[in-house]
Each structure stands twice: as structure tokens, then as C-alpha cells.
Structure 1
């Protein structure tokens, strides 16, 4: 739809729409994970994400695309959130960090492969359709529950002991262990599950508002959420500051992916050795230092922009007094006369 020059503001609008959908998806589908289970929300989100992704490829107008991006962002957030929760709950604590870092590295690999796929297809609609097809392939989890079982932790927390016992027994048999003839610790687990399932207890679901009654969890969640807010804001500013005056997409894109991979490897090497809290403190200090560097870079950019206003390139631009910085979306103004606009 030629979203440049006068219509360039629609590009950030589309990005904000996607992020807003992501936020709403985390809130709504996150509560759904606690109410309906991790597997149910994951499969439902994948079904919706596949349909909405294919619909984006067929969007006939920008407003339609805007709405579809909002809904698509929400479903993607629900799928990734359910997958994240299930990964933490299905993995034992000693290996949880390694599995989380491995998942992050797979995400980085997808980020690095996406520009190559875009260069091959040369059409955004076809690229969007391929993305929907790939998400549709993940629906194999729907037909094979053993590939993605429900979280026993969630089942036990909601009082669904019979289902949890069935899944735990399946895990034991897949590992070559007989739950009925095992060690003392495992026999105590069998006894405890039998006691919990006595009397056919009804499921008891938790509400997200229950966090307000747990001061420690609520406080820690607020602190970590605020840290994430500041970190993502500085990350976005850093990514924008990497963009040179002449628009090039790939350098900031690949640099950001490379830094994310380096951070994941650093986390894998240090978190178990030094602890989570020191690594978090170090990351916070690095974030503060990055914000100071961004501030210094912004001052230099203002000076460069002031010199750019006096350049003959913008002599024919009628809005040169309103260009504090020449962003990629505004670069089409340079070197054109008012009649050409």
C-alpha cells in the first residue's frame, strides 16, 4: 500500500497494533492457561494463529490488516506463553535453565533465517502464508497428546489428581520405570497421589486476582515486570539508534539477534554458577550503562541533524524546519522538490 512519505506513520501504527494484541493475549490467554490448561490454550492459540496468519496474507486493505495483526499478535502471545509455562513445569529444576536457553536459541535461529526466507520469496503475502503454514504444522501436537501432554503441575494445583496420575505414570513407563515397584521416595509419591484422589475431589481453579493476596509473589512480579518494561524500552531505543541515515534493515536486525544469542549463552554459563540474582543485577547495571550511551548518542544525532538541515540535499524540502532527525521513513524527502512530492 506504498506506506512511505506521507503514509509512513502507518508502519509504526501497525507495529503498535501487533504489540497491543500481544499484551492483550498475554492477559486474556494467560488467565486461560490457569483456567483451561496449558495444552488447551496452546492448541487453540495455534488454530487461531494459523487462520489469522493466512487471513493477513489475503488482506485487501490496510485497516483490515491492522485488525488482523492485533488478533494475530494476541494468539501468538497465547501460544508462546502456554509453551513457556509447560516447558517450565514439565522440566525438572536441574535442567530447566538449559532447556530455556535452548528454546531461546531456537528463537534466535528463526530470527536469523527469516531474512533469507524473505529474500527467496520476494513477496510479503507469500512470506506471511508460509509463516501460517509453519504454525499449522505445529498442530500435530493436537493429534498426538504424547508430544505435548498437559502439565501435571497444573493438574495437581487444580485438584485433577486422576489426570495428573495418568500422565506421571506415562512418563515413568516411557523412562522404563515401574511406578508400582520403585524406590521409597517414588512409593511415597504413589501413596500421596492415592490419598489426594480419594473421594473424587472436584477441580479447584485459581484466579489471577489471587496474586494480590500473596505479597511476596506480587512484589517480585511487579519488580521483574518493571525491569522488563525498562529493558524493552531501552532495547527499542537501541535498535532505532542503530539505523543509519540511509535505510538499511539487516545490520540492526542481525546485530540484535547476535546480542540476544550472546546473552543467552552468558546466562547459561553464569546463572547456575553465580546465581540468578547477581546475573539480574549485572544485567540491570548494563541496561543503565546502555541508557547513558544512548543519551550521549542522541546528543550527537541532534548535532548531525542540525548540520543535515543546512545541507543542499534538503534545500527544496518545505518541511526542513520540522525534521529534527531524518528517520528512514522521512528519507524520501531528501533531494526532492515540492512539485515532486
Structure 2
């Protein structure tokens, strides 16, 4: 979207919008998952994460990109909180501690380490976005 020179201020705003979406997801998902259940919220959020991620690759303009990026942040915040709470409710003892304190951060770090390698192979940000969205749909079984 040519975010250089005069439009360079949009780059940090993009991150802010994404993390505001994550914040909203954290606030909304707790109430929603208490009302309709954790698993339906988790699986629908995984599906929507893939849909919004795929839509992000097709964004024709920066405002559309920002709206989809906000929704992506909302779904990621929702997924993390729901998985954390679901794991804390289902697991007991040492397993709960390992899951909450080690497993979630390790898998997040592993995915973060794979991202630069994937970006090296897929040089277009749109192709990279498609690959990330496809991996989200594979995780959700959609």
C-alpha cells in the first residue's frame, strides 16, 4: 500500500489496530465462551481467523486491510484466552502447569521462528498471508 515517506505513520498504527483487536477479543471472548461454551467459541474463532487471514491477502486498500487486521487480532486474542482457560479447566496438577507455563509459549515461539523462514521462501506479503491463513484452517480442521 506504499506505506513510505508521507504515509509512514500508518505502519505503527497498523500494529496498534491489531493489538486493539486482540484486546477486544480478550474482553469479549470470556463472556461469550461462558454463555455458549469454550469449544464452539474456539472452533468458530479458528475458522474466522482463516477467513479473515485469507481476506487480508485480498485487501484492495489500506482501510480494508486495517478492518481485517483488527478482526485478525480479535480472533487471535480470543483463541489464546479460550485455549488457556480451557486447558486450565480440563487439566490438573503438573499437566496444567506444563500446558499453561510451557506448552503454549513454546508453540507460539516455534511458530514465530518459522515465520521468517516462510517469509524468505514466499517473498510476496499476499502469498505469505495466504500461507498463514491456510495453516490456521488446517489447525481447525476446516
Tell me the TM-score normalised to structure 1 length. 0.40
Taking the TM superposition and a 5 Å limit, the aligned residue runs for 1:243-254 are: none
Kindly provide the CA deviation profile for residues 270-290 of structure 1, in whole angstroms up to 9, marking residues without a partner as x: xxxxxxxxxxxxxxxxxxxxx
Contiguous gaps of at least 5 residues in structure 2: none
1:120 aligned residue? 121
Provide the rounded CA distance (Å) in 1 between the counterparts of 2:30 and 2:41.
Answer: 9
Provide the rounded CA distance (Å) in 2 between the counterparts of 1:117 and 1:58.
Answer: 19
Question: Which secondary structure state, in structure 1, belongs to the residue aligned with residue 22 of structure 2?
Answer: helix
1:87 aligned residue? 87
Kindly provide the CA deviation profile for residues 162-195 of structure 1, in whole angstroms up to 9, marking residues without a partner as x: xxxxxxxxxxxxxxxxxxxxxxxxxxxxxxxxxx
After TM superposition, give the deviation of residue 46 of structure 1 in Å.
1.0
After TM superposition, give the deviation of residue 21 of structure 1 in Å.
0.7
Provide the rounded CA distance (Å) in 1 between the counterparts of 2:118 and 2:33.
Answer: 33
Provide the rounded CA distance (Å) in 2 between the counterparts of 1:139 and 1:113.
Answer: 19
2:109 aligned residue? 108
2:137 aligned residue? 136
Provide the rounded CA distance (Å) in 2 between the counterparts of 1:86 and 1:51.
Answer: 23
* RMSD of aligned residue pairs (Cα, Å): 1.2
After TM superposition, give the deviation of residue 33 of structure 1 in Å.
1.2
Provide the rounded CA distance (Å) in 1 between the counterparts of 2:72 and 2:107.
Answer: 21
Taking the TM superposition and a 5 Å limit, the aligned residue runs for 1:1-341 are: 1-100=1-100, 101-140=102-141
Aligned residues: 141
Provide the rounded CA distance (Å) in 1 between the counterparts of 2:31 and 2:11.
Answer: 31
Kindly provide the CA deviation profile for residues 80-101 of structure 1, in whole angstroms up to 9, marking residues without a partner as x: 2111111111111222111221
Tell me the TM-score normalised to structure 2 length. 0.94
After TM superposition, give the deviation of residue 75 of structure 1 in Å.
1.2
Provide the rounded CA distance (Å) in 1 between the counterparts of 2:24 and 2:99.
Answer: 27
Query: Which structure has the larger Rg over C-alpha atoms?
Result: 1
After TM superposition, give the deviation of residue 119 of structure 1 in Å.
0.5
Provide the rounded CA distance (Å) in 2 between the counterparts of 1:41 and 1:90.
Answer: 16
After TM superposition, give the deviation of residue 126 of structure 1 in Å.
0.5
Provide the rounded CA distance (Å) in 1 between the counterparts of 2:86 and 2:17.
Answer: 27
Instruction: Return the structure number with greater relative CO, CA threshold 8 A, min gap 6.
Output: 2
Kindly provide the CA deviation profile for residues 12-42 of structure 1, in whole angstroms up to 9, marking residues without a partner as x: 1111110111111111122111111110110
Contiguous gaps of at least 5 residues in structure 1: 143-341
Which protein has the bigger helix share?
Answer: 2
